[in-house]
Amino acid sequence: MSTVGHPLLRASVALRFVKLVHTIVWAIFAGCIFAIPVFAWRGEVGRAFLLIGIVFVEVFVLLLNRWRCPLTNVAARFTVERSDNFDIYLPRWLARYNKVIFGSLFAGGLVLTFIRWRWQHP
The reply to whether 42 falls in a domain is yes
pLDDT: is 42 or 2 the higher one? 42
> Residue 4 above 80 pLDDT?
no
In the chain, % of residues over pLDDT 70: 95
The reply to whether 104 falls in a domain is yes
**Residue 22: which residues within 8 A CB-CB, separation 6 or more?**
69, 71, 72, 75, 87, 88, 89
Residue 117 has a pLDDT of: 96
- Using pLDDT thresholds of 50, 70 and 90, give the confidence band for residue 122: confident
DSSP 71-97: HHHHHHTT-S--STTTTSSS-HHHHHH
The reply to whether 13 falls in a domain is yes
Q: Are 47 and 21 in contact (CB under 8 A)?
A: no
State the helix-helix crossing angle for 7-41 and 45-64, rounded to 10 degrees.
Answer: 150
The reply to whether 2 falls in a domain is no
The reply to whether 1 falls in a domain is no
The reply to whether 103 falls in a domain is yes
pLDDT in tens, 26-60: 999 999 999 999 999 999 999 999 999 999 999 99
Q: Are 37 and 49 in contact (CB under 8 A)?
A: no
The reply to whether 17 falls in a domain is yes
> Residue 1 above 50 pLDDT?
no
Residue 39 has a pLDDT of: 98
pLDDT in tens, 54-95: 999 999 999 999 999 999 999 999 999 999 999 999 999 999
- Using pLDDT thresholds of 50, 70 and 90, give the confidence band for residue 5: low
Residue 75 domain boundaries: 7-120
Q: What is the pTM of this model?
A: 0.88
| Number of domains within the chain | 1
Nearest to 74 by CA among 25, 31, 114: 25
DSSP classification of residue 3: -
